[in-house]
Each structure stands twice: as structure tokens, then as C-alpha cells.
Amino acid sequence: MLTLLPPILCLLPLTILTFQWGTDSLGADPVATLLYETGIWSLRFLLLTLCVTPLRALLKWPAQDSESNHLRRTFGLSAFGYSSLHLLCYLWFDQSFEWSDILSDIFTRPAIAIGGLSFLFLTTLALTSNQTMINLLGKRRWKQLHQLIYLTALGSVAHFWLLAMSKVDVREPLMYGFLLTLLLLLRYPPLLNWLNKPQSP
């Protein structure tokens, strides 16, 4: 039952958004709401994915604990799912699949280019998150590939930051940038080793 709880919770924002869409309660600008909510939940689940290793160290979970691995995979795939919805909302509702306008957006707006690159990284992570790919690539190369999560998270925060700058309010992306910095610091090997160190009786 406990293993089902994280996926159910991860689907909760989508359920709420679907209900709001169906009841026409997404606000004065439904497209902006959908873009914001799908994007922000993708970023939140990315940060939750990065939380798992420091949390495992703090709670003294075993190195190969299946629960922590399940959490990491669930949060990572949820980030990919919401990111895919975010991209779909942009292509469909915002740009109406006008590819010339989309290409122009990519080449003239750094926020869009960085967001697109982050999505490609996240897609790579999602497609290689299964045991078959781990066996195919080998554990060492698989781990090296999955270092892309850091670039993905940094790119996602930068994407959010650049979009917020156009509205002259960067407080929220600044908060997420601070959280990402903290999580990266917690993964610094000496600090992570200290957290993993058994407590003295």
C-alpha cells in the first residue's frame, strides 16, 4: 500500500487541473494557468528527486534500499510527465502548432531554448530509467548518464527565471534556485559522507 502512495500523490495535481479544466475554473487566462501549473510541478518533482539521496542519508536507509529507489524513479517520471504536459500546452494552446513561430521562439527567446534543452535531457533520463537500460548501459555508464539530472534541474530553474524576468517578478524562481543550490550542496561528497556516517552511541 505504501508503494502506491507516492504515485497517487504525484497524480493529485493533474487530477485537480483536470477538474478545473472540466469545470472552466482555470481563471481568466486558462492557457497561462496550465503552462504555469504543469511547469512548476515538473520542477517540484525534479527537486523531490534530488531530495531522495540526502533524505536517505539522514534517515540512514541502506544504500540499495528499494523504497528510496522507488521514490526516486516515481518522482523523476512524474517530473517527465508534467514536463511533457507543459510542452504540449505550449505547442498546442500557446502556439497552435505553428512550427515557424515555434522555431522563431526557440531562436529569439533564451527561456524557450533552455526549456527545450532541459526537456530533451529529461526525456533521456526517463527513457533510461528502467532496469533494462541499466543492464544494457552498465551501472557505471548509466550513473554517468544520469548526472544529466543536475543540468536538467539547473536548466529548469533558468527557464523559470528568464520567463519571470519578463514579468519583473523573480521571487519564486529565486526560491527554487535557492532550494536547488541547497540540494546540490547536500550532495557534495564530504557532506554526504558525513550525513551517512553512523551516529556515535
pTM here is 0.91
pLDDT at 53: 83
For residues 72 and 164, what is the distance between their CA atoms, to the nearest angstrom?
A: 28
Return the SS3 of 144: helix
Beta strands (DSSP E) in 46-164 are: none
pLDDT at 103: 96
Q: What single letter denotes the amino acid at residue 9?
A: L
The larger pLDDT score, comparing residue 189 to residue 95, is at 95
Of residues 30, 117, 38, the one with CA closest to residue 78 = 38
pLDDT per position as a tens digit, 119-159: 999 999 999 999 899 999 999 999 999 999 999 999 999 99
pLDDT at 193 over 80: no
pLDDT at 196: 63
Q: CB-based contacts of 98: which residues, under 8 Å, 6+ apart?
A: none
Task: Compute the average pLDDT of residues 51-59.
Answer: 81
pLDDT confidence band for 197 (50 / 70 / 90): low
Of residues 125, 128, 140, the one with CA closest to residue 46 = 125
Cell of 108: 529569439
Task: Compute the average pLDDT of residues 57-61.
Answer: 72
